[in-house]
Each structure stands twice: as C-alpha cells, then as structure tokens.
Amino acid sequence: MTNKKDSVGSTTRVLRTKVKKKRGLKESSRRWLERHLNDPYVQRSKADGYRSRAAYKLIEIDDKHHLLKPGQKVIDLGAAPGGWCQVAAARTKSTAAAPHVVGIDYLEMDAVPGSAILQMDFLDDAAPARLIEELGGEPDIVLSDMAAPTTGHRRTDHIRTMHLCEVAADFAMSVLKPGGHFLTKTFQGGTENELLDMLKRSFRSVHHVKPPASRDESVELYLLAKDFKGRAPAEE
C-alpha cells in the first residue's frame, strides 16, 4: 500500500490490485481491468461518492476556467452514470426542490440529487424541447460528454463521435443564453475544422482542453467554447 498525491489535490491511499489470468479472459481485457482498478481517479471517485472518474474531468476544467456558478441553469448531454450532473448540481447549488441542472441519456441511471434526469435519446426529435421544458428556460451552460459506442475501428468511432459533437454544438447555439458556455468531448484526428469555424463565429473564445483526469494515452479531448455571442434576430 502506498500514499500518493493525485492531481485533484489530496493524498490517496492507493491499493495495487492484480488481476489474475483466467480462462476466457482476454489478455487485453485483463490489462484494462487491472489498470482501471488501480487508477487513482477511480479509487478517489469511490471515496468521494462520485458516479465515475469522469467527474474529475469536469472538476479540473471548471477549476481552471470557472464555468459553473451558483444559480446557473445547466444541461448535461450524455449524462449517465451521473458524475457531471453531480458536479454541476453541487457547484451551481441546485436543489432537489428547485433543480436547475437537467441531464439526458438513453441509458437508465439512478437519480442525482439536485438534477432532473430525462431517460431518452438526445437524437430524438423531441429531446431539445423536453430539455428546455424541464429546465424552465434557456441554459447558461451546455455540457456534453457524449461518445458513440465504440466499434473498434478508430476512424469510424471518431466520425460517429464527431457527429454527436456537431449535433450538441448545434443544440447549444440554439438554446444558450448570450454569454453562455459550451463544453463537449471530441477526439483527436481531423474532421473538426468546420465545427471549429462554426464555434469561433458564435463564441468569443474557443480552444481545446485536456484535463489531467483524461488519460495520457487517450485520444479524448474537450472543446471549450466560452461567451456565446447570441443568436441573430429572426427575420420577419
């Protein structure tokens, strides 16, 4: 057993777990499971009561860029298992009596105190209106940690996740309050120029961020678009 200072800022007692080789368990799967069990963020999330290690990605991004503030309305796309909703609810001081954080996912998930959860596919035509109705107005922040289920083909997985990223961006720009922010998962690997150009036209600053909780070997990145300029007035 060793004590280890992690990048979240506290000392964690790390237990090294060895996963034995078993018949029927692929070596790659065994290595992934062993790495997951020994991940300090995984161990920290259990101690801190977060649904997943992904909570620390949002915590680290918010600590640096100061997105979440008390009273803000937040929409979380691809919310399961609920780690980002937990962080957003805590930092905006959302309550069970009057939640101003709404998450959506087609996967079933347990309730998150201070958040309203919709179990439906964000790509459903009815989803955007349902989200705004549940939130009770325009959001200050749209978060998206959505990623398409992986196929094992890196290029295909990238294209499918980029599609979700683009749909999330379209949604954010159609509902955000002026001055609002948009944070979305993306992957390294091209086909992003049109999306970046679109965001740069609509937000005052746009850049990539990779929080320490995102594994070094992962191609995962986040796109952060801050200070929405607002929508053009509708033509009469």
Domain count, the chain: 2
> Residue 234 falls within a domain, yes or no?
no
- pLDDT per residue of the chain (236 residues) written in tens, 0 to 9: 334 334 444 444 445 555 455 655 555 544 544 454 555 666 676 767 788 889 999 999 999 999 999 999 999 999 999 999 999 999 999 999 999 999 999 999 999 999 999 999 999 999 999 999 999 999 999 999 998 877 777 778 778 888 899 999 999 999 999 999 999 998 876 557 888 999 999 999 999 999 998 877 777 889 999 999 998 765 44
Together in a domain, 120 and 150: yes
> Residue 24 falls within a domain, yes or no?
yes
Strands of the chain, DSSP E: 2-5, 11-14, 74-77, 101-105, 116-119, 141-144, 181-187, 203-209, 220-228
Together in a domain, 7 and 66: no
Together in a domain, 12 and 62: no
**Is the pTM here over 0.85, yes or no?**
no
Q: Which domain holds residue 145?
A: 55-228
> Residue 235 falls within a domain, yes or no?
no
Together in a domain, 118 and 69: yes
> Residue 236 falls within a domain, yes or no?
no
Residue 144's closest CA among 61, 227, 63?
61
Q: Alpha-carbon distance 184 to 161, whole Å? A: 11
Rounded to a whole number of angstroms, the distance between the first and last alpha carbons of the chain is 68
> Residue 95 falls within a domain, yes or no?
yes
> Which residue out of 93, 185, 200, 229 is catalytically annotated?
185
Please identify which residue in the block is written with the tokens 């995984």. 42
Together in a domain, 72 and 17: no
Instruction: Provide the mean pLDDT of the chain.
Output: 83
The yes-or-no answer on residue 185 being catalytic is yes
